[in-house]
Structure 1
Amino acid sequence: MLEDYSKYSELNRVPVIDVPITGTNMYECVEFLTLHIDELHGEYICVSNAHTSVMAHDDPSYWACQADSLMSVPDGKPLSVVGRNTIESMGRVTGPDLMREIFSISVQQGWTHYFYGNEQKNLEALKDSLQEEYPGLKIAGMEPSVFRPLSDSEKQDLSRRLAESGADFAWIALGAPRQEVLMHELKGGPQPLMIGVGGAFNVLAGVVPEAPIWMQNLSLEWLYRLIQEPKRLFKRYLVTNTKFLFYQFTKAKRKEGK
Protein backbone atom coordinates (compact mmCIF):
# COMPACT_ATOMS: atom_id res chain seq x y z
CA MET A 1 0.00 0.00 0.00
CA LEU A 2 1.12 3.56 -0.66
CA GLU A 3 1.33 4.99 2.85
CA ASP A 4 1.38 8.70 2.02
CA TYR A 5 -1.25 8.88 -0.74
CA SER A 6 -3.02 11.45 1.41
CA LYS A 7 -0.14 13.87 0.93
CA TYR A 8 -1.06 14.17 -2.74
CA SER A 9 -4.79 13.65 -2.46
CA GLU A 10 -7.45 15.49 -0.46
CA LEU A 11 -5.13 16.79 2.27
CA ASN A 12 -2.86 18.54 -0.19
CA ARG A 13 -5.41 19.91 -2.63
CA VAL A 14 -5.88 23.65 -3.04
CA PRO A 15 -9.22 24.91 -4.41
CA VAL A 16 -8.49 27.16 -7.38
CA ILE A 17 -11.80 28.55 -8.65
CA ASP A 18 -13.28 25.59 -6.73
CA VAL A 19 -11.23 23.05 -8.72
CA PRO A 20 -8.90 20.87 -6.58
CA ILE A 21 -5.27 21.47 -7.63
CA THR A 22 -2.38 19.64 -5.97
CA GLY A 23 -0.23 21.89 -3.79
CA THR A 24 3.11 20.64 -5.06
CA ASN A 25 6.11 21.86 -7.01
CA MET A 26 8.51 20.26 -9.47
CA TYR A 27 10.97 18.98 -6.87
CA GLU A 28 8.29 17.42 -4.65
CA CYS A 29 6.43 15.93 -7.62
CA VAL A 30 9.53 14.26 -9.09
CA GLU A 31 10.64 13.06 -5.66
CA PHE A 32 7.23 11.48 -5.05
CA LEU A 33 7.22 9.72 -8.41
CA THR A 34 10.79 8.50 -7.93
CA LEU A 35 9.87 6.93 -4.59
CA HIS A 36 6.55 5.40 -5.62
CA ILE A 37 6.42 4.78 -9.38
CA ASP A 38 6.26 0.99 -8.91
CA GLU A 39 3.05 1.42 -6.89
CA LEU A 40 1.23 3.76 -9.26
CA HIS A 41 -0.11 1.45 -11.97
CA GLY A 42 -3.65 2.42 -12.86
CA GLU A 43 -3.26 5.99 -11.58
CA TYR A 44 -3.09 9.21 -13.57
CA ILE A 45 -1.87 12.77 -13.27
CA CYS A 46 -3.53 15.83 -14.79
CA VAL A 47 -1.33 18.74 -15.86
CA SER A 48 -3.74 21.58 -15.15
CA ASN A 49 -3.93 25.19 -16.26
CA ALA A 50 -6.43 28.05 -16.33
CA HIS A 51 -8.21 26.57 -19.36
CA THR A 52 -8.74 23.12 -17.84
CA SER A 53 -9.72 24.67 -14.52
CA VAL A 54 -12.42 26.79 -16.15
CA MET A 55 -13.71 23.74 -18.02
CA ALA A 56 -13.78 21.74 -14.78
CA HIS A 57 -15.55 24.59 -12.98
CA ASP A 58 -18.26 24.61 -15.64
CA ASP A 59 -18.61 20.85 -16.20
CA PRO A 60 -19.18 18.51 -13.20
CA SER A 61 -18.14 15.41 -15.15
CA TYR A 62 -14.82 17.01 -16.13
CA TRP A 63 -14.39 18.29 -12.57
CA ALA A 64 -14.53 14.65 -11.47
CA CYS A 65 -11.74 13.79 -13.92
CA GLN A 66 -9.52 16.38 -12.25
CA ALA A 67 -10.57 15.51 -8.71
CA ASP A 68 -10.13 11.73 -9.10
CA SER A 69 -6.53 12.04 -10.33
CA LEU A 70 -3.54 11.06 -8.22
CA MET A 71 -2.41 14.65 -8.73
CA SER A 72 -3.62 17.66 -10.68
CA VAL A 73 -0.40 19.63 -10.87
CA PRO A 74 -0.28 23.40 -11.51
CA ASP A 75 1.01 23.75 -15.07
CA GLY A 76 -0.35 27.27 -15.44
CA LYS A 77 1.33 29.97 -13.34
CA PRO A 78 -2.00 31.55 -12.31
CA LEU A 79 -2.83 28.30 -10.52
CA SER A 80 0.39 28.26 -8.52
CA VAL A 81 0.11 31.98 -7.73
CA VAL A 82 -3.41 31.50 -6.33
CA GLY A 83 -2.39 28.29 -4.60
CA ARG A 84 0.54 29.88 -2.78
CA ASN A 85 -1.96 31.77 -0.64
CA THR A 86 -2.66 28.39 0.95
CA ILE A 87 0.57 26.41 0.40
CA GLU A 88 3.64 28.65 0.14
CA SER A 89 5.80 26.01 -1.54
CA MET A 90 3.40 25.51 -4.45
CA GLY A 91 5.08 26.01 -7.81
CA ARG A 92 4.65 25.29 -11.49
CA VAL A 93 4.89 21.77 -12.85
CA THR A 94 4.62 22.23 -16.61
CA GLY A 95 4.14 19.29 -18.95
CA PRO A 96 7.33 19.77 -21.00
CA ASP A 97 9.47 20.44 -17.92
CA LEU A 98 8.06 17.45 -16.02
CA MET A 99 8.93 15.24 -18.99
CA ARG A 100 12.45 16.66 -19.12
CA GLU A 101 12.96 16.10 -15.39
CA ILE A 102 11.74 12.49 -15.60
CA PHE A 103 13.73 11.72 -18.76
CA SER A 104 16.92 13.15 -17.26
CA ILE A 105 16.92 10.49 -14.51
CA SER A 106 15.22 7.65 -16.41
CA VAL A 107 18.36 5.82 -17.51
CA GLN A 108 19.70 5.88 -13.97
CA GLN A 109 16.35 4.68 -12.60
CA GLY A 110 15.78 2.11 -15.35
CA TRP A 111 12.41 3.64 -16.32
CA THR A 112 10.73 3.05 -19.67
CA HIS A 113 8.19 5.21 -21.46
CA TYR A 114 5.17 4.84 -23.74
CA PHE A 115 3.85 7.76 -25.79
CA TYR A 116 0.21 7.86 -26.89
CA GLY A 117 -1.38 10.59 -28.97
CA ASN A 118 -0.56 13.19 -31.62
CA GLU A 119 0.38 12.29 -35.23
CA GLN A 120 2.85 9.70 -36.48
CA LYS A 121 5.16 12.27 -38.09
CA ASN A 122 5.37 14.25 -34.87
CA LEU A 123 6.01 11.10 -32.85
CA GLU A 124 8.90 10.28 -35.15
CA ALA A 125 10.30 13.77 -34.63
CA LEU A 126 9.85 13.34 -30.87
CA LYS A 127 11.68 10.01 -30.91
CA ASP A 128 14.64 11.52 -32.80
CA SER A 129 14.77 14.45 -30.40
CA LEU A 130 14.60 12.29 -27.27
CA GLN A 131 17.28 9.88 -28.50
CA GLU A 132 19.59 12.80 -29.16
CA GLU A 133 18.85 14.65 -25.91
CA TYR A 134 18.63 11.63 -23.59
CA PRO A 135 20.95 8.86 -24.84
CA GLY A 136 19.87 5.46 -23.59
CA LEU A 137 16.28 6.52 -22.86
CA LYS A 138 14.08 3.42 -23.13
CA ILE A 139 11.00 3.93 -25.32
CA ALA A 140 8.56 1.04 -24.92
CA GLY A 141 6.21 2.26 -27.63
CA MET A 142 4.77 5.17 -29.56
CA GLU A 143 1.22 5.22 -30.83
CA PRO A 144 -0.64 8.06 -32.59
CA SER A 145 -4.16 9.11 -31.71
CA VAL A 146 -7.08 8.00 -33.85
CA PHE A 147 -8.66 11.48 -33.36
CA ARG A 148 -12.06 10.14 -32.35
CA PRO A 149 -13.64 8.71 -29.20
CA LEU A 150 -12.53 5.15 -28.48
CA SER A 151 -15.03 2.34 -28.03
CA ASP A 152 -15.04 0.44 -24.74
CA SER A 153 -13.20 -2.47 -26.34
CA GLU A 154 -10.61 -0.11 -27.84
CA LYS A 155 -10.02 1.43 -24.42
CA GLN A 156 -9.49 -2.01 -22.91
CA ASP A 157 -7.10 -2.90 -25.73
CA LEU A 158 -5.16 0.33 -25.19
CA SER A 159 -4.89 -0.36 -21.46
CA ARG A 160 -3.62 -3.86 -22.22
CA ARG A 161 -1.06 -2.61 -24.76
CA LEU A 162 0.27 -0.07 -22.30
CA ALA A 163 0.55 -2.70 -19.57
CA GLU A 164 2.18 -5.30 -21.83
CA SER A 165 4.75 -2.76 -23.04
CA GLY A 166 6.38 -2.86 -19.61
CA ALA A 167 6.51 0.93 -19.45
CA ASP A 168 6.71 2.79 -16.15
CA PHE A 169 5.18 5.98 -17.57
CA ALA A 170 2.48 6.41 -20.20
CA TRP A 171 2.52 9.96 -21.59
CA ILE A 172 -0.89 10.85 -23.01
CA ALA A 173 -1.10 13.72 -25.50
CA LEU A 174 -4.66 14.11 -26.74
CA GLY A 175 -5.29 17.63 -25.48
CA ALA A 176 -7.88 18.70 -22.93
CA PRO A 177 -10.46 17.48 -22.15
CA ARG A 178 -9.97 14.24 -24.14
CA GLN A 179 -6.82 13.07 -22.37
CA GLU A 180 -8.21 13.61 -18.86
CA VAL A 181 -11.48 11.89 -19.74
CA LEU A 182 -9.61 8.89 -21.20
CA MET A 183 -7.29 8.58 -18.21
CA HIS A 184 -10.25 8.81 -15.85
CA GLU A 185 -11.99 6.01 -17.75
CA LEU A 186 -8.86 3.82 -17.61
CA LYS A 187 -8.16 4.52 -13.92
CA GLY A 188 -7.61 1.33 -11.95
CA GLY A 189 -6.53 -0.70 -14.98
CA PRO A 190 -3.24 -2.57 -15.38
CA GLN A 191 -1.55 0.18 -17.38
CA PRO A 192 1.34 2.24 -15.99
CA LEU A 193 1.01 5.68 -14.49
CA MET A 194 -0.58 7.96 -17.09
CA ILE A 195 0.29 11.64 -17.35
CA GLY A 196 -1.69 13.94 -19.64
CA VAL A 197 0.68 16.42 -21.24
CA GLY A 198 -1.31 18.00 -24.08
CA GLY A 199 0.96 19.71 -26.58
CA ALA A 200 4.21 18.79 -24.82
CA PHE A 201 5.12 16.19 -27.46
CA ASN A 202 5.34 18.91 -30.09
CA VAL A 203 7.39 21.15 -27.81
CA LEU A 204 9.98 18.48 -27.04
CA ALA A 205 10.02 17.39 -30.68
CA GLY A 206 10.80 20.94 -31.76
CA VAL A 207 7.64 21.05 -33.88
CA VAL A 208 6.18 23.94 -31.85
CA PRO A 209 8.39 26.66 -30.33
CA GLU A 210 8.33 27.12 -26.57
CA ALA A 211 7.60 30.48 -24.97
CA PRO A 212 10.69 32.36 -23.74
CA ILE A 213 11.39 32.04 -20.02
CA TRP A 214 10.62 35.72 -19.41
CA MET A 215 7.12 35.25 -20.84
CA GLN A 216 6.63 32.11 -18.76
CA ASN A 217 7.66 33.99 -15.64
CA LEU A 218 5.12 36.71 -16.41
CA SER A 219 2.30 34.21 -17.04
CA LEU A 220 2.26 35.20 -20.73
CA GLU A 221 2.61 31.78 -22.33
CA TRP A 222 -1.00 32.08 -23.46
CA LEU A 223 -0.06 35.26 -25.37
CA TYR A 224 2.90 33.54 -27.01
CA ARG A 225 0.71 30.64 -28.11
CA LEU A 226 -1.96 33.07 -29.30
CA ILE A 227 0.60 34.80 -31.51
CA GLN A 228 1.58 31.39 -32.94
CA GLU A 229 -2.01 30.25 -33.62
CA PRO A 230 -4.34 33.29 -33.50
CA LYS A 231 -7.27 31.82 -35.44
CA ARG A 232 -7.49 28.67 -33.35
CA LEU A 233 -6.84 30.16 -29.93
CA PHE A 234 -8.28 33.69 -29.92
CA LYS A 235 -11.80 32.80 -28.87
CA ARG A 236 -10.62 30.14 -26.41
CA TYR A 237 -8.24 32.45 -24.58
CA LEU A 238 -10.64 35.38 -24.62
CA VAL A 239 -13.35 33.28 -22.97
CA THR A 240 -11.08 31.21 -20.70
CA ASN A 241 -8.97 34.06 -19.32
CA THR A 242 -12.02 36.24 -18.73
CA LYS A 243 -13.87 33.46 -16.94
CA PHE A 244 -10.85 32.54 -14.80
CA LEU A 245 -10.42 36.11 -13.60
CA PHE A 246 -14.16 36.47 -12.98
CA TYR A 247 -14.42 33.21 -11.03
CA GLN A 248 -11.37 34.08 -8.93
CA PHE A 249 -12.72 37.58 -8.24
CA THR A 250 -16.14 36.32 -7.18
CA LYS A 251 -14.56 33.65 -5.00
CA ALA A 252 -12.43 36.28 -3.26
CA LYS A 253 -15.49 38.44 -2.72
CA ARG A 254 -17.38 35.49 -1.18
CA LYS A 255 -14.45 34.88 1.13
CA GLU A 256 -14.40 38.52 2.21
CA GLY A 257 -18.11 38.40 2.96
CA LYS A 258 -17.81 35.51 5.41
Structure 2
Amino acid sequence: MTSDHDLPPLAGDTILGTRIDATSYDDVLARIEARPRDRVQRFAFCNVHSVMSARRDPALRAALDAMDVATPDGMPLVWTLRRRGHPDQPRVYGPDLMELALPHGVERGWRHFFFGANDETLDRLQSRAQELAPGVEIVGRIAPPYRPLTPAEDDEVVAQVLASSADVLWVGLGMPKQERWMHRVADRLPGVAVMGVGAAFDLLSGTVPQAPDWLQERGLEWAYRLWREPRRLWRRYLFNNPGFALLVTLETVRRRRTAGEVRR
Protein backbone atom coordinates (compact mmCIF):
# COMPACT_ATOMS: atom_id res chain seq x y z
CA MET A 1 0.00 0.00 0.00
CA THR A 2 1.26 3.46 -0.88
CA SER A 3 2.04 5.70 2.09
CA ASP A 4 1.87 9.46 2.26
CA HIS A 5 5.67 9.50 2.26
CA ASP A 6 5.65 8.07 -1.29
CA LEU A 7 3.68 11.00 -2.69
CA PRO A 8 5.40 14.19 -3.92
CA PRO A 9 5.16 17.21 -1.62
CA LEU A 10 2.49 19.70 -2.54
CA ALA A 11 3.41 22.93 -4.29
CA GLY A 12 1.14 25.95 -4.41
CA ASP A 13 1.16 29.50 -3.13
CA THR A 14 0.06 31.70 -0.27
CA ILE A 15 -2.87 33.83 -1.38
CA LEU A 16 -3.61 36.78 0.92
CA GLY A 17 -2.10 34.88 3.82
CA THR A 18 -3.77 31.50 3.20
CA ARG A 19 -1.85 28.56 1.73
CA ILE A 20 -3.57 27.09 -1.33
CA ASP A 21 -2.13 23.89 -2.76
CA ALA A 22 -1.55 23.05 -6.41
CA THR A 23 -3.33 19.72 -6.56
CA SER A 24 -5.90 17.75 -8.59
CA TYR A 25 -8.74 15.31 -8.09
CA ASP A 26 -6.42 12.36 -8.77
CA ASP A 27 -3.88 13.70 -6.29
CA VAL A 28 -6.49 14.14 -3.55
CA LEU A 29 -7.81 10.61 -4.09
CA ALA A 30 -4.27 9.25 -3.95
CA ARG A 31 -3.62 11.10 -0.69
CA ILE A 32 -6.79 9.69 0.87
CA GLU A 33 -5.65 6.20 -0.08
CA ALA A 34 -2.14 6.84 1.28
CA ARG A 35 -3.30 8.59 4.45
CA PRO A 36 -1.22 7.98 7.56
CA ARG A 37 -2.71 5.59 10.09
CA ASP A 38 -1.24 7.28 13.17
CA ARG A 39 -2.74 10.72 12.69
CA VAL A 40 -5.66 12.50 11.08
CA GLN A 41 -5.53 13.82 7.53
CA ARG A 42 -7.51 17.02 6.84
CA PHE A 43 -8.69 18.49 3.54
CA ALA A 44 -10.13 21.97 3.04
CA PHE A 45 -11.80 23.14 -0.16
CA CYS A 46 -11.14 26.86 -0.29
CA ASN A 47 -12.76 29.73 -2.14
CA VAL A 48 -12.76 33.52 -1.94
CA HIS A 49 -14.98 33.41 1.14
CA SER A 50 -12.45 31.15 2.91
CA VAL A 51 -9.47 33.37 2.12
CA MET A 52 -11.17 36.65 2.96
CA SER A 53 -12.63 35.25 6.19
CA ALA A 54 -9.20 33.97 7.24
CA ARG A 55 -7.77 37.49 6.80
CA ARG A 56 -10.14 38.70 9.51
CA ASP A 57 -10.09 35.62 11.75
CA PRO A 58 -6.71 34.40 13.07
CA ALA A 59 -8.29 31.23 14.49
CA LEU A 60 -9.69 30.30 11.08
CA ARG A 61 -6.36 31.04 9.43
CA ALA A 62 -4.65 28.74 11.92
CA ALA A 63 -7.18 26.01 11.14
CA LEU A 64 -6.59 26.36 7.40
CA ASP A 65 -2.81 26.44 7.86
CA ALA A 66 -3.04 23.14 9.73
CA MET A 67 -4.80 21.36 6.85
CA ASP A 68 -2.87 18.66 5.04
CA VAL A 69 -4.37 19.82 1.75
CA ALA A 70 -6.12 23.10 0.93
CA THR A 71 -7.51 22.90 -2.60
CA PRO A 72 -8.55 25.75 -4.93
CA ASP A 73 -12.30 25.13 -4.80
CA GLY A 74 -13.21 28.53 -6.29
CA MET A 75 -12.22 29.69 -9.78
CA PRO A 76 -10.61 32.99 -8.60
CA LEU A 77 -8.11 30.90 -6.60
CA VAL A 78 -7.52 28.66 -9.63
CA TRP A 79 -6.81 31.70 -11.81
CA THR A 80 -4.45 33.12 -9.18
CA LEU A 81 -2.45 29.89 -8.99
CA ARG A 82 -2.26 29.77 -12.78
CA ARG A 83 -0.85 33.29 -12.88
CA ARG A 84 1.66 32.39 -10.18
CA GLY A 85 3.43 29.52 -11.85
CA HIS A 86 0.89 26.68 -12.00
CA PRO A 87 -0.57 27.09 -15.52
CA ASP A 88 -2.35 23.74 -15.58
CA GLN A 89 -4.05 24.06 -12.21
CA PRO A 90 -7.64 22.72 -12.32
CA ARG A 91 -10.45 23.54 -9.97
CA VAL A 92 -10.73 20.96 -7.16
CA TYR A 93 -14.33 21.40 -6.08
CA GLY A 94 -15.64 19.70 -2.93
CA PRO A 95 -18.93 18.36 -4.37
CA ASP A 96 -17.21 16.96 -7.46
CA LEU A 97 -14.47 15.38 -5.34
CA MET A 98 -17.09 13.69 -3.20
CA GLU A 99 -18.90 12.46 -6.29
CA LEU A 100 -15.63 10.92 -7.52
CA ALA A 101 -14.49 9.54 -4.16
CA LEU A 102 -17.61 7.51 -3.40
CA PRO A 103 -17.27 5.12 -6.38
CA HIS A 104 -13.46 5.30 -6.25
CA GLY A 105 -13.52 3.92 -2.73
CA VAL A 106 -15.84 0.98 -3.33
CA GLU A 107 -13.20 -1.46 -4.60
CA ARG A 108 -10.78 -0.10 -2.01
CA GLY A 109 -13.18 -0.81 0.83
CA TRP A 110 -13.44 2.76 2.06
CA ARG A 111 -15.97 3.26 4.83
CA HIS A 112 -17.72 6.65 4.81
CA PHE A 113 -19.28 8.70 7.60
CA PHE A 114 -21.48 11.77 7.00
CA PHE A 115 -21.52 14.62 9.53
CA GLY A 116 -23.65 17.67 8.82
CA ALA A 117 -26.92 18.94 7.32
CA ASN A 118 -30.21 17.50 8.60
CA ASP A 119 -31.82 14.08 8.58
CA GLU A 120 -33.87 14.72 5.45
CA THR A 121 -30.79 15.80 3.51
CA LEU A 122 -28.79 12.86 4.84
CA ASP A 123 -31.53 10.44 3.77
CA ARG A 124 -31.37 11.84 0.24
CA LEU A 125 -27.57 11.92 0.29
CA GLN A 126 -27.37 8.25 1.25
CA SER A 127 -29.73 7.33 -1.58
CA ARG A 128 -27.69 9.40 -4.01
CA ALA A 129 -24.45 7.81 -2.78
CA GLN A 130 -25.87 4.34 -3.50
CA GLU A 131 -26.82 5.47 -7.02
CA LEU A 132 -23.37 6.90 -7.67
CA ALA A 133 -21.48 4.01 -6.09
CA PRO A 134 -23.43 0.73 -5.74
CA GLY A 135 -22.02 -1.13 -2.78
CA VAL A 136 -20.66 1.98 -1.07
CA GLU A 137 -20.24 1.53 2.68
CA ILE A 138 -21.92 4.29 4.70
CA VAL A 139 -21.05 3.33 8.26
CA GLY A 140 -22.52 6.29 10.12
CA ARG A 141 -24.19 9.68 9.95
CA ILE A 142 -24.93 12.53 12.31
CA ALA A 143 -27.13 15.56 11.70
CA PRO A 144 -25.90 17.98 14.38
CA PRO A 145 -27.84 20.90 15.85
CA TYR A 146 -27.30 24.24 14.13
CA ARG A 147 -25.93 25.81 17.31
CA PRO A 148 -22.28 25.32 18.34
CA LEU A 149 -21.59 21.87 19.73
CA THR A 150 -20.73 21.44 23.40
CA PRO A 151 -17.53 19.62 24.37
CA ALA A 152 -19.65 16.61 25.35
CA GLU A 153 -21.28 16.61 21.90
CA ASP A 154 -17.86 16.81 20.25
CA ASP A 155 -16.85 13.79 22.32
CA GLU A 156 -19.92 11.88 21.13
CA VAL A 157 -19.26 12.63 17.46
CA VAL A 158 -15.64 11.53 17.76
CA ALA A 159 -16.66 8.37 19.61
CA GLN A 160 -19.20 7.44 16.93
CA VAL A 161 -16.73 8.03 14.10
CA LEU A 162 -14.06 5.91 15.78
CA ALA A 163 -16.53 3.15 16.65
CA SER A 164 -17.63 2.98 13.01
CA SER A 165 -14.05 2.40 11.77
CA ALA A 166 -14.69 5.06 9.13
CA ASP A 167 -11.90 5.77 6.66
CA VAL A 168 -13.38 9.01 5.32
CA LEU A 169 -15.37 11.51 7.38
CA TRP A 170 -17.32 13.95 5.22
CA VAL A 171 -18.04 17.17 7.12
CA GLY A 172 -20.77 19.40 5.73
CA LEU A 173 -21.15 22.12 8.35
CA GLY A 174 -20.30 25.07 6.11
CA MET A 175 -17.32 27.39 6.24
CA PRO A 176 -15.94 28.40 8.77
CA LYS A 177 -17.77 26.15 11.23
CA GLN A 178 -16.48 22.93 9.68
CA GLU A 179 -12.85 24.08 9.53
CA ARG A 180 -12.91 25.12 13.18
CA TRP A 181 -14.50 21.81 14.18
CA MET A 182 -11.95 19.81 12.17
CA HIS A 183 -9.14 21.73 13.86
CA ARG A 184 -10.65 21.24 17.32
CA VAL A 185 -10.96 17.44 17.17
CA ALA A 186 -8.15 16.58 14.75
CA ASP A 187 -5.80 14.92 17.22
CA ARG A 188 -8.55 12.48 18.23
CA LEU A 189 -9.21 10.95 14.79
CA PRO A 190 -6.07 9.00 13.82
CA GLY A 191 -6.22 7.24 10.47
CA VAL A 192 -9.28 9.18 9.26
CA ALA A 193 -9.37 11.42 6.19
CA VAL A 194 -11.56 14.36 7.20
CA MET A 195 -13.05 16.28 4.29
CA GLY A 196 -14.57 19.73 4.85
CA VAL A 197 -16.88 19.83 1.83
CA GLY A 198 -19.30 22.61 2.78
CA ALA A 199 -22.43 22.60 0.64
CA ALA A 200 -21.66 19.25 -1.01
CA PHE A 201 -24.32 17.46 1.05
CA ASP A 202 -27.03 19.84 -0.16
CA LEU A 203 -25.82 19.84 -3.76
CA LEU A 204 -25.34 16.09 -4.19
CA SER A 205 -28.60 15.28 -2.42
CA GLY A 206 -30.46 17.68 -4.68
CA THR A 207 -31.70 19.73 -1.73
CA VAL A 208 -30.09 22.81 -3.29
CA PRO A 209 -29.71 23.15 -7.08
CA GLN A 210 -26.19 23.48 -8.45
CA ALA A 211 -25.10 26.22 -10.82
CA PRO A 212 -24.81 25.17 -14.48
CA ASP A 213 -21.34 24.03 -15.54
CA TRP A 214 -20.88 26.99 -17.89
CA LEU A 215 -21.36 29.41 -14.99
CA GLN A 216 -18.97 27.46 -12.78
CA GLU A 217 -16.28 27.40 -15.46
CA ARG A 218 -16.48 31.19 -15.83
CA GLY A 219 -16.24 31.81 -12.10
CA LEU A 220 -19.86 32.97 -11.91
CA GLU A 221 -21.22 30.38 -9.51
CA TRP A 222 -21.44 33.15 -6.92
CA ALA A 223 -23.97 35.00 -9.10
CA TYR A 224 -26.17 31.93 -9.30
CA ARG A 225 -26.00 31.40 -5.56
CA LEU A 226 -26.70 35.07 -4.90
CA TRP A 227 -29.75 34.86 -7.16
CA ARG A 228 -30.96 31.82 -5.23
CA GLU A 229 -30.26 33.18 -1.71
CA PRO A 230 -29.95 36.98 -1.88
CA ARG A 231 -30.82 37.72 1.75
CA ARG A 232 -28.22 35.32 3.14
CA LEU A 233 -25.39 35.95 0.70
CA TRP A 234 -25.50 39.55 -0.48
CA ARG A 235 -23.09 40.89 2.14
CA ARG A 236 -20.59 38.10 1.46
CA TYR A 237 -20.41 38.74 -2.26
CA LEU A 238 -20.76 42.53 -2.14
CA PHE A 239 -17.66 42.90 0.02
CA ASN A 240 -15.61 39.72 -0.45
CA ASN A 241 -15.43 39.45 -4.23
CA PRO A 242 -14.35 43.03 -5.09
CA GLY A 243 -12.04 43.08 -2.05
CA PHE A 244 -10.37 39.84 -3.10
CA ALA A 245 -9.88 41.03 -6.68
CA LEU A 246 -8.23 44.26 -5.54
CA LEU A 247 -6.06 42.74 -2.82
CA VAL A 248 -4.83 39.77 -4.85
CA THR A 249 -3.93 42.09 -7.74
CA LEU A 250 -1.93 44.33 -5.39
CA GLU A 251 -0.22 41.30 -3.87
CA THR A 252 0.73 39.96 -7.29
CA VAL A 253 2.10 43.34 -8.40
CA ARG A 254 4.17 43.65 -5.20
CA ARG A 255 5.63 40.19 -5.74
CA ARG A 256 6.60 40.97 -9.32
CA ARG A 257 8.28 44.20 -8.25
CA THR A 258 10.18 42.41 -5.50
CA ALA A 259 11.25 39.67 -7.90
CA GLY A 260 12.42 42.33 -10.39
CA GLU A 261 14.47 44.10 -7.74
CA VAL A 262 16.10 40.82 -6.69
CA ARG A 263 17.05 40.04 -10.30
CA ARG A 264 18.65 43.48 -10.66
Mapped partners of 2:6, 2:248: distance in 1: 30
The answer on whether the counterparts of 2:4 and 2:31 sit within 8 Å (CA) in structure 1 is no
Shift of 1:41: 4.5
Answering whether residue 250 of structure 2 is matched by residue 250 of structure 1, we say: yes
The answer for the alignment partner of 2:199 in structure 1 is: 199
How many equivalent pairs are there?
254
The answer for the alignment partner of 1:66 in structure 2 is: 64
Mapped partners of 1:86, 1:155: distance in 2: 41
The answer on whether the counterparts of 1:21 and 1:74 sit within 8 Å (CA) in structure 2 is yes
**Counterpart amino acid of residue 178 in structure 1:** K
**Counterpart amino acid of residue 169 in structure 1:** V
**Counterpart amino acid of residue 57 in structure 1:** R
Question: Following superposition of structure 1 onto structure 2, how do residues 156-195 of structure 1 map, counting pairs within 5 Å?
Answer: 156-190=155-189, 192-195=192-195
Pairing partner for 1:42 from 19, 40, 43: 40
The answer for the alignment partner of 1:56 in structure 2 is: 54
Shift of 1:5: 7.1
- Write the deviation string for residues 203-234 of structure 1: whole angstroms up to 9, x where unpaired: 11011111111111101111111111111111
The answer for the alignment partner of 2:234 in structure 1 is: 234
Mapped partners of 1:215, 1:2: distance in 2: 35
The answer on whether the counterparts of 1:43 and 1:188 sit within 8 Å (CA) in structure 2 is no
- Stretch of structure 1 that moved more, 247-256 or 191-200: 247-256
Question: Following superposition of structure 1 onto structure 2, how do residues 93-104 of structure 1 map, counting pairs within 5 Å?
Answer: 93-104=92-103
| Cα pair distance change 1:226/1:169, threshold 3 Å | same
Shift of 1:40: 7.0
The answer for the alignment partner of 1:7 in structure 2 is: 9
| Cα pair distance change 1:132/1:5, threshold 3 Å | closer
The answer for the alignment partner of 2:145 in structure 1 is: 146
The answer for the alignment partner of 1:82 in structure 2 is: 80
Shift of 1:73: 0.8
Please give the TM-score of this superposition, normalised by the length of structure 1. Answer: 0.92
Mapped partners of 2:201, 2:227: distance in 1: 20
- Write the deviation string for residues 11-38 of structure 1: whole angstroms up to 9, x where unpaired: x24111221011111122222223x135
SS of 1:108's partner is: coil
Mapped partners of 2:58, 2:244: distance in 1: 16
**Counterpart amino acid of residue 164 in structure 1:** A
Mapped partners of 1:2, 1:257: distance in 2: 37
The answer on whether the counterparts of 2:7 and 2:31 sit within 8 Å (CA) in structure 1 is no
The answer on whether the counterparts of 1:25 and 1:91 sit within 8 Å (CA) in structure 2 is yes
**Counterpart amino acid of residue 99 in structure 1:** M
Mapped partners of 2:142, 2:199: distance in 1: 15
Measured on the aligned residues, the alpha-carbon RMSD in Å equals 1.8
- Unaligned regions of 5+ residues in structure 1, if any? none
